[in-house]
Structure 1
Amino acid sequence: MSTPRTVIVTGASSGIGLGLAQAYLDRGYNVVGNARSQAGLDAAAATLGQPERFLGVVGDVADPSTATQMVERAVARFGQVDVLVNNAGFFLPKPFIDYSAEELESLLATNLKGVVYMSQAAARHMIERRQGHIVNISASVALQPNLAVPAALPVLIKGGVNQMTRALALELSPFNIQVNAVAPGIIDTPMHDPAHRDFLNGLQPAGRLGRTEEIADAVLYLSSAGFTTGAVLPVDGGMSSGTW
């Protein structure tokens, strides 16, 4: 690429987010990565090892000022924002009646408000440029709930993100902005206890956990797809295809 493209990745300090940051750097992108702590960003920067093309921004995506700051700093450092990946989030499975009010607020803040604020800030910039891509990281369980993994509130919130993806794809289409989502199954990251691996493997028809690079491949495709918008792409080893 003669002029490197720039991507914002929220939740970039570990897991899928760190894998996405690495994949974009490998493709020649400039990367603006977000995390809640400076220590997390410092560790990510050390792992990625390309300080000239990686800019870390500390902040909580549930705070709208974080979104504004990320876009402004991306533009100041690299000139524009071409892609936003709304990756920041967490998964909290438990019986529906056991969710507390505090857990609901926390899920809504990070998994929903963070997507809204970041998308608004990026869309304002992309509308001016009349081009851009927004990719939301959803969840396979929002496409096909699973009795073995009770998670009604994550399903509610990620399901809302899926519908917002479709609505924004229509609304932003006149500005040449594509909006899509990737719905991962269970991905092999440090958050999973190795003692639970056999159980987790059995939740996908493929019989194994997904890899972060498999999510990155899907996100990278949607980052440059000119004729795909409003799609929610499962990358889940068949988990969302139905019950088995």
Structure 2
Amino acid sequence: MKATRGEVAPRPRAQPTRVGFGDSPGARSNTRRKTSAALAAPTDIAAPHQVQRLADTTVERFGRVDLVVSNAGMRCGRTDLARGTRRLASSLAVNVQGVVNGMRAFVSHLIAAGRGHLRHPD
């Protein structure tokens, strides 16, 4: 099945989209009901064991991971920096170490599956 210019190639067979996502503990999930197609797990991405648990639970639930998007981030502006180092430390833990934790937790699953992608938006 080939798409011509301006068209989207049709899927060879219809499959439901399955989504697993982690959000900061205590955040209100956008997943309103339990479904086999979604997994919402409170996850502090600055904590390696929590990210590993998210990766393992996702693979256990869906059988594999095709795409990992590290989209968490904390803004740290001049006023935050002027108040002290706590906000800077938290920002670095999420913005830098969180990406590293995600890569460590998920890349072994991607390699084992022989497929998949990591995305780190700006």
The alpha-carbon distance between structure 1 residues 67 and 97, as it changes in their structure 2 partners (threshold 3 A), is: closer
Letter of the aligned partner of 1:63 in structure 2? A
Deviations 1:120-164 (A, max 9, x none): 1111111122211111122xxxxxxxxxxxxxxxxxxxxxxxxxx
What residue is the counterpart of 2:31 in the other structure?
45
The alpha-carbon distance between structure 1 residues 3 and 81, as it changes in their structure 2 partners (threshold 3 A), is: farther
Post-superposition offset of 1:32: 0.6
The alpha-carbon distance between structure 1 residues 97 and 34, as it changes in their structure 2 partners (threshold 3 A), is: closer
What residue is the counterpart of 1:71 in the other structure?
55
> C-alpha separation between the residues in 2 aligned to 1:113 and 1:50?
30
- Give the 3-state SS of the residue equivalent to 2:103 in structure 1: helix
> C-alpha separation between the residues in 1 aligned to 2:81 and 2:62?
47
Identity of aligned residues (%): 26
Select the structure that is richer in helix. 1
Deviates more, 1:54-63 or 1:94-103: 94-103
Higher RCO (CA-CA < 8 Å; seq separation 6+): 2
The alpha-carbon distance between structure 1 residues 99 and 38, as it changes in their structure 2 partners (threshold 3 A), is: closer
- Give the 3-state SS of the residue equivalent to 2:78 in structure 1: coil
Deviations 1:86-130 (A, max 9, x none): 011121222696262112210111111111001111111111222
What residue is the counterpart of 2:109 in the other structure?
125
In structure 2, list runs of 5 or more residues that go unmatched.
1-10
Q: Is residue 56 of structure 1 aligned with residue 40 of structure 2?
A: yes
Deviates more, 1:71-80 or 1:91-100: 91-100
> C-alpha separation between the residues in 1 aligned to 2:73 and 2:121?
9
> C-alpha separation between the residues in 1 aligned to 2:92 and 2:86?
10
> C-alpha separation between the residues in 2 aligned to 1:114 and 1:64?
8
Deviates more, 1:91-100 or 1:72-81: 91-100
Q: List structure 1 segments (4+ residues) > 6 angstroms apart after TM superposition.
A: none
> C-alpha separation between the residues in 2 aligned to 1:99 and 1:39?
25
**TM score, norm. by length of structure 2:** 0.79
Deviations 1:51-78 (A, max 9, x none): 2311111120000011111111111111
- The count of aligned residue pairs is 111
What residue is the counterpart of 2:4 in the other structure?
none
Letter of the aligned partner of 1:108 in structure 2? L
Letter of the aligned partner of 1:84 in structure 2? V
**TM score, norm. by length of structure 1:** 0.41
> C-alpha separation between the residues in 2 aligned to 1:97 and 1:113?
19
Post-superposition offset of 1:83: 0.4
